[in-house]
Amino acid sequence: MSQFTKLLLAAIVGAFVLTASAAADSVVYLFRHAEKQSDGTRNPSLTEAGVVRAAKLADHLKGTALTTVYSTDYKRTQETAAPVAAAKHLTVTSYDPRKLGEFAEQLKKEAGPILVVGHSNTTPHLVSLLSGEKHEALEEYQYDHLYMVTLSDDGKASVTITYIEPRTPKADH
């Protein structure tokens, strides 16, 4: 075998190993529920703006082959997750926001991509548990953050934040 052939084979094998390890990464998308009604109840539904944002979340994730959609049992989180789940022909699976440590460990073992819809405090906390990076709770007016946590087989994690329009600046509230 020529030196060139050996180098070519080594490059092909190296590229295959890199591709295989990248394919083994798991991605978890985390989103706080969309805008909720201020009707004084403990379990409000989404506002019209919230319904629009939930549809925009589904549109944003249309090219992502999700395996699972999780949500807490509250109306606002279920209603935010529903358009995504419907578009992907998935059911929304409930999780307990009081057991985030256990849930984070479960997510680390699952194959993704996965969507988790939570709350202003639980979503950043779950991002922190998954990534090992500190993420502060969202302000009451912040409904636009979509976190993408990429979990590698080697235990490393990276976080990317994108925004589901429209942005929700504090001045609007």
List, for residues 10-28, the tens digit of each pLDDT value. Answer: 444 444 434 333 445 899 9
List, for residues 130-149, the tens digit of each pLDDT value. Answer: 999 999 999 999 999 999 99
Give a yes or no: residue 10 inside a domain.
no
Give a yes or no: residue 117 inside a domain.
yes
Give a yes or no: residue 14 inside a domain.
no
CATH of the domain at 45: 3.40.50.1240
d(CA 113, CA 98): 23
Bridge partners (DSSP) of residue 36 are 46
Give a yes or no: residue 17 inside a domain.
no
Sequence length of the chain is: 173
Report percent pLDDT > 90 for the chain. 76
Give the residue from 152, 162, 111, 104 showing the smallest Cα distance to 128. 104
Give a yes or no: residue 20 inside a domain.
no
Give a yes or no: residue 11 inside a domain.
no
Asked whether residue 35 carries a pLDDT value surpassing 50, the answer given is yes
pLDDT at 16: 41
Give a yes or no: residue 128 inside a domain.
yes
Instruction: State the pLDDT confidence band at 5, using cuts at 50, 70 and 90.
Output: very low
Higher pLDDT, 5 or 114: 114
pTM of the model: 0.84
pLDDT at 17: 39
d(CA 106, CA 95): 11
Give a yes or no: residue 13 inside a domain.
no
Q: How many domains are contained in the chain?
A: 1
pLDDT at 1: 64
For 110, the domain range is 25-172
